[in-house]
Structure 1
Amino acid sequence: MPTDCIPFKDIHYFSSLICDYIDQKPELKPFYNRFPKLENFEDQIKEKSDFKGMSKAHRQVLASVLEQQYKSVTTSEATQLNISLLKESNTFTVTTGHQLNLFTGPLYFLYKIVSTINLTKELKTTYPDQHFVPVYWMATEDHDFDEINYFNFKGKKVQWNREDGGAVGPFSTAGLEDVFELYAKELGVGKAADELRDLFSEAYLKHETLADATRYLANALFAELGLVIIDANHSDLKRAFIPYIKQDILSQVSAQEVSKTNTLLSQIPDTDYNIQVNPRAINLFYLSENSRERIVLEHDRYSVINTQKTFTKDEILEEIEAFPERFSPNVIMRPLYQEVILPNLCYIGGGGELAYWLQLKDYFKAAQVPFPMLLLRNSVLIKTKQQAKKLEKLNISNRDLFYKRDTFINKRVRSISNIEIDFSSQKKFLQEQFKEMYTLAAQTDASFLGAVKAQERKQIKGLEHLEKRLLKAQKKKLADQVLRMTELKDQLFPNQSLQERIVNFSELYLEFGDQLIPQLVLNLQPLKQEFLILNL
């Protein structure tokens, strides 16, 4: 199985913050706990073991909730065993999280979960006395429906249109019959197409809520590998989070700590790091049927915006104690909630996710909760055998593919052209000639310098214009080859973006069938922090 790896910083699709984190730049060390190396997990295990919140009683509650959530799910012995193992003090998790995207959304859903599963395997080999459980955290409390209500298939958008409102987990799957009918027609014929039709139908037409449908789907894809899927929107789990909910309501600790960290990040010299998220005074929502709205403090009363609901201080504390499930953490507090209820060692996420996790370490310290290791998920470009053969025939390297479209075409045209289209030597010669002119001007009249500079700029621009015209002419002459190169580039980088951010897994499933996920499991190495190019 031919593969190639390219450093993330060399493909220009990842932020400088993430590239610097992978390179372990010293300036970023204050913003994370331990870098994800196998040898560093020993201390992470000890720190999480010492966390008082991870008591035997809490582990029992966690396992009990998962057993309830899996009651109507037929799953593997491996997953059942992993749920049971969570009761034991020597069991730890590796976690990834994802929105409830329709039919998994983009390809990287698979890469996140396979990265998580493969890391638990590596940890078990290195630390055989402990157990390691891969966890997929469903973002059931998210309310950004427009981000999850579609997936891309063969250049078309398969979309679910329904009224928005509230957390997406409880959304009824009613109306997805129409989506299924459209998608089923697009799939065509064949064994893989039939399997995809069955998978979509079983998940979305035979389960009442989006959370249940997503659990079924992820379980169907990964159960044999021991994946545990959790919906943390549960009163028993929220009860363990009550002290932290109250802390945020009363003291606004998250806002204070994250704001300080944001200032420190923005002040690191010679960087252009973007602050991913900015905290609010209170980083909690209030959940009710068809509603998830922010809680704000106004005139000594706690109000739920866009509603008539308000509380005094005592009333909201009573509400938290009685109904903790009504309080939903936002993007700032969700990571803390995860680490409070799971015996977690490492969070695996995309670049955007890790960017906001790097803003949270001091908040975790203030809350006295161990900060997990942060690992960038595997990223993959998958090529078919046919695509690989065409690229080889055109002498296009894997690194060439990652250039932006215009740069890619220009570079390839220069490479295959039978004439030189690089005027760098002519520009250099011209600049050398003008050095003598500058010397002469300085000896005669200094006011002559401006005229010399203007003439140099004019002639350099003239050469650049001629170079562009020559390149354009060669593109026209080599139009057939340019078309073939461009078509391949567009297939592998749809919408001029990474394949994994656009394409749904079902496109590749049609090509590779039930070997797609086993091949990912075989080839993805989560601790090898490079971009993988995989020929299947």
Structure 2
Amino acid sequence: MELESLALQEKNKVMQSYNNDKEFLHTFFDYENEESSYPARLKELAGRTFERRQLAETIRSFMEPFGISANANTHIEELAKNAVAVVGGQQAGILTGPLYSVHKAISVILLAKRQREKLGVPVVPVFWVAGEDHDLNEINHVYTEMEGRATKHQYRGNFILKLMASDAQYDKQVMESLVKDIFGKFGETAYTKDLLDEVLSAVEQEKSFTQFFVRLMNGLFKEEGLLFIDSASKQLRELEKSYFVHLIEESEQLAEVISKKEELFAEKGFGSPMGAELDAANLFYIHDTGRVLLSRKDGFFVNESSGLRFSKAEMLRIAQEEPWLLSNNVATRPLMQDMVFPVLAFVGGPGEIAYWAVLKEAFHHLDMKMPIIVPRMSITLVTPQVKHALDEKNFTFDDVMSGAVFTAREQFASGLQDERFDSVVDETEKILGQQYEKIAVFTEQQGPMMQELLEKNLRFHTKQLDYLKGKAVEAVLLKHDAELRTFGILEGELFPEGVLQERLYTPYTYLNSYGPTLIRDILGLPFVMDGTHKIIYL
């Protein structure tokens, strides 16, 4: 296994500014993404209080059904005392979702290890599962690579209500069938049977998308002691009671400072990632019809389409007595996370960092500073087959990204066409047309029926010539199939559908080829979280 770094051209304007523009960074964030920020953040956290014991027990209770490793147990105990946390999160995708879920966990683990060593204090890695998200269409599918194309495999469940991922229960037979279908596309290796048995066991043991996700992720990272918490956990809601009260009491002011900050963000050309509204409550309510967003109107918290209407006093009662009926939105989730956890640093992707950028004053309003924001590592895995194809064609990874491989394939394919053959067929078609024109002189005298028959006969022969040309093209492509397939492999594996591999494919594609030590071996590589793209040759 070899590691390479590549400075990709950053197309995301927010990330360009985050990495290069100090004025942007200081306007929208509290800390620079620098080593010097960590002691300052640690000092700030020391001045705040957290419900550490209850938090540790909440995590322990959530993780127990999935298995708590010795390292995870140590981290839970440290968190109960004086540890700080590096936190990252993701939605609960099938088969862990796209590779970037795993890349985010790897980033969290490596950063926690590094800061534990640098600061000389316990720093624990935490994965915050967005189990309260209700957009199941974002998590109900997996892609595999087939003949240079990304093929979508979707769970065919019928979820009518806006159920949270943690409440959405899958049909075990349907999920089992989907998993088997996906594994069938991987190809048989020495690791396939054990890997498939492990995943099918998880399907059988669990019920919801979140549980299925956590069981697999916990299995992949148990040796590292990665801690998991579900944002929709009922026990976590109990811990969040007083924080929900705080968010309700300050909802008007929070909506105002978030909207104002997003206006500034948009003025500077970065868009409106949240679409913040001045009347937003920035909280969801778990209703009979699913998870519905609340807004503020005439002193009440409402969702008009569902007929919901709560006074502030009723909202405060719900927060105290039935907190599991409340749920954070994209604006309040980071705030809640920072009230619950002593967050040293948050590891996020480009989309998340754009959301966080409009929350600086919201944090300040709640007497907090934003944690250090660290972009997750971006990684591409290169199999031996793909490495061989790169070497054979004398291409680099950058050639694939820049479109040079696509251009080369088009040139190669066009060069295969036999222009002499096409010319002879075209000439035959022209002569045929001329002869039929001569015949038409006679058929005109014999009435419209013969004329129609002649035209039909000509179309038939023309169609046969076109068929011949098509078959000739097929024969040429078939003859050069292996070479064309090489181009397809490079694009399909490394830059499928014009996006990075990590945004589409499940890690199980690579676990099936490389084996169960893949995660451990990746974590052992000498990574530097410097913003460059990482290429790993398996």
Give the TM-score normalised by the residue count of structure 2.
0.80
Partner of 2:37: 40
1:282–1:479 Cα change, 3 Å: same
CA deviation digits over 1:141-172, x for unaligned, max 9? Answer: 11111111111133432222231424424335
Structure 1: distance between partners of 2:180 and 2:44: 49
Partner of 1:50: 47
Structure 2: distance between partners of 1:390 and 1:216: 35
CA contact (8 A) 1:159 1:179 kept: no
1:196–1:79 Cα change, 3 Å: same
Partner of 1:441: none
CA contact (8 A) 2:131 2:164 kept: yes
Where does structure 1 differ by over 4 angstroms across 4 or more consecutive aligned residues? Answer: 411-415, 478-483
**Which AA in structure 2 matches 1:402?**
M
Matches within 5 A, 1:490-529: 490-523=492-525, 525=527, 527-529=529-531
Structure 1: distance between partners of 2:266 and 2:310: 36
Q: Does 1:66 align with 2:65?
A: no
Q: Shift of the alpha carbon at 1:103?
A: 1.5
Structure 1: distance between partners of 2:91 and 2:289: 18
Q: Does 1:80 align with 2:73?
A: yes
Number of aligned residues: 461
Instruction: State which of 141, 150, 171 in structure 1 corresponds to 2:132.
Output: 141
CA contact (8 A) 1:284 1:294 kept: yes
Matches within 5 A, 1:249-260: 249=251, 252-260=252-260
Partner of 2:535: 533
CA contact (8 A) 2:248 2:281 kept: no
Structure 2: distance between partners of 1:164 and 1:95: 32
Q: Does 1:157 align with 2:152?
A: yes
1:526–1:340 Cα change, 3 Å: farther
CA contact (8 A) 1:105 1:152 kept: no
Matches within 5 A, 1:109-124: 109-124=101-116
- The DSSP-based 3-state class of the residue aligned with 1:523 is coil
Q: Does 1:18 align with 2:15?
A: yes
Partner of 1:444: none
Partner of 2:466: none
**Which AA in structure 1 matches 2:355?**
Y
- The DSSP-based 3-state class of the residue aligned with 1:94 is strand
CA contact (8 A) 1:168 1:210 kept: no
Structure 2: distance between partners of 1:219 and 1:200: 12
**Which AA in structure 1 matches 2:511?**
Y
CA deviation digits over 1:390-425, x for unaligned, max 9? Answer: 21222212221211x3x543478899x99xxxxxxx
Q: Does 1:103 align with 2:95?
A: yes
1:413–1:314 Cα change, 3 Å: closer
* Gapped regions of structure 2 (runs ≥ 5): 416-476
Structure 1: distance between partners of 2:483 and 2:59: 56
Give the TM-score normalised by the residue count of structure 1.
0.80
Structure 2: distance between partners of 1:221 and 1:290: 35
CA contact (8 A) 1:490 1:496 kept: no
1:483–1:186 Cα change, 3 Å: closer
Structure 2: distance between partners of 1:37 and 1:232: 29
Instruction: State which of 270, 273, 276 in structure 2 corresponds to 1:279.
Output: 276
Q: Shift of the alpha carbon at 1:186?
A: 4.5
CA contact (8 A) 2:245 2:316 kept: no
Matches within 5 A, 1:259-408: 259-268=259-268, 272-280=269-277, 281-289=280-288, 291-403=290-402, 405=403, 408=405
Instruction: Provide the alpha-carbon RMSD of the alignment.
Output: 2.6
Structure 2: distance between partners of 1:289 and 1:80: 37
Partner of 2:86: 94
Q: Shift of the alpha carbon at 1:23?
A: 2.2
Structure 1: distance between partners of 2:166 and 2:267: 42
**Which AA in structure 1 matches 2:135?**
D
Partner of 1:235: 237
Structure 2: distance between partners of 1:499 and 1:169: 25
- The DSSP-based 3-state class of the residue aligned with 1:311 is strand
Partner of 2:173: 177
1:215–1:245 Cα change, 3 Å: same
After superposing the two structures, state which structure 1 stretch, 144-153 or 314-323, moved more. 314-323
Structure 2: distance between partners of 1:63 and 1:96: 17
**Which AA in structure 2 matches 1:220?**
G
Matches within 5 A, 1:406-421: 408-410=405-407
Structure 2: distance between partners of 1:368 and 1:514: 45
Q: Shift of the alpha carbon at 1:190?
A: 4.0
1:526–1:230 Cα change, 3 Å: farther
1:220–1:366 Cα change, 3 Å: same
Larger-gyration structure (1/2): 2
**Which AA in structure 1 matches 2:259?**
S
After superposing the two structures, state which structure 1 stretch, 300-309 or 329-338, moved more. 300-309
Q: Shift of the alpha carbon at 1:481?
A: 6.2
CA deviation digits over 1:14-35, x for unaligned, max 9? Answer: 4021022122443332111112
**Which AA in structure 2 matches 1:23?**
N
Q: Shift of the alpha carbon at 1:6?
A: 1.7
Structure 2: distance between partners of 1:26 and 1:498: 30
Structure 1: distance between partners of 2:59 and 2:304: 33
- The DSSP-based 3-state class of the residue aligned with 1:514 is coil
Structure 2: distance between partners of 1:274 and 1:302: 28
- The DSSP-based 3-state class of the residue aligned with 1:123 is helix
- The DSSP-based 3-state class of the residue aligned with 2:517 is helix
Structure 1: distance between partners of 2:166 and 2:287: 11
CA deviation digits over 1:350-409, x for unaligned, max 9? Answer: 111111111111111111122111111111111112211221222212221211x3x543
Identity value in percent: 24
CA contact (8 A) 2:37 2:372 kept: no
CA contact (8 A) 1:378 1:531 kept: yes
CA contact (8 A) 1:378 1:525 kept: no
Structure 2: distance between partners of 1:34 and 1:201: 44
